[in-house]
Amino acid sequence: MTLAQRTAAAAREVEATIRRLPPPVREFAKKIPVHYEAKPPAHIVEEGFPPDILGLFDGSAHGEEVSQDQPMPPQISLYLDNIWDFVEQDRDGFLDEVGVTYLHELGHYFGWDEDDLAARELD
């Protein structure tokens, strides 16, 4: 799959994942932009994130005011080359991992840890 094909497939998978969310969560999820990038930008790696990171939530969590040190609105980035490499270039594995990574990052928006995600069947 080319990056363009992975991007289109990932966008479809995220949309399908959003449709499966419980209605109250779905409404918030629809408002959070998702960016599809090949790899994390240099400034993310320079901040200490590993270069093979699969996704990232950035911005203020739900219920927190946008502060001076966090002027960005909430957003999720998915790093598609990293996900593709993580699943060893398996198309079905890629789609599954896109969904899992998206839910993981969405969980950060809600301030949820892994146990919270499992309790909400979002793992």
Residue with tokens 């270039």: 89
d(CA 3, CA 80): 8
Mean pLDDT (whole number) for 43-61: 92
* CA 4 – CA 72 distance, rounded (Å): 27
- State residue 119's pLDDT score: 83
Whole-model pTM: value is: 0.87
Q: Give me the residue label for tokens 């301030």.
A: 111
Q: In what helix (H) or strand (E) does residue 36 lie, and over which residues does it extend?
A: strand 34-37
Among the ranges given (16-25, 41-50, 63-72, 110-119), the one the predictor scored with the smallest mean pLDDT: 63-72
Q: What is the second-level CATH architecture of the domain 3-63+72-119?
A: 2-Layer Sandwich (3.30)
Nearest-angstrom CA–CA distance, 94 and 43: 25
Mean of pLDDT values over 37-65 = 89
| Mean pLDDT estimate for the chain | 89
Delimit the domains of the chain by residue range.
Answer: 3-63+72-119
What pairing do the DSSP bridges indicate for beta strands 55-58 and 34-37? unpaired
- The model's confidence at residue 62, banded by pLDDT at 50, 70 and 90, is confident
**74-104 pLDDT per residue, tens:** 999 999 999 999 999 999 999 999 999 999 9
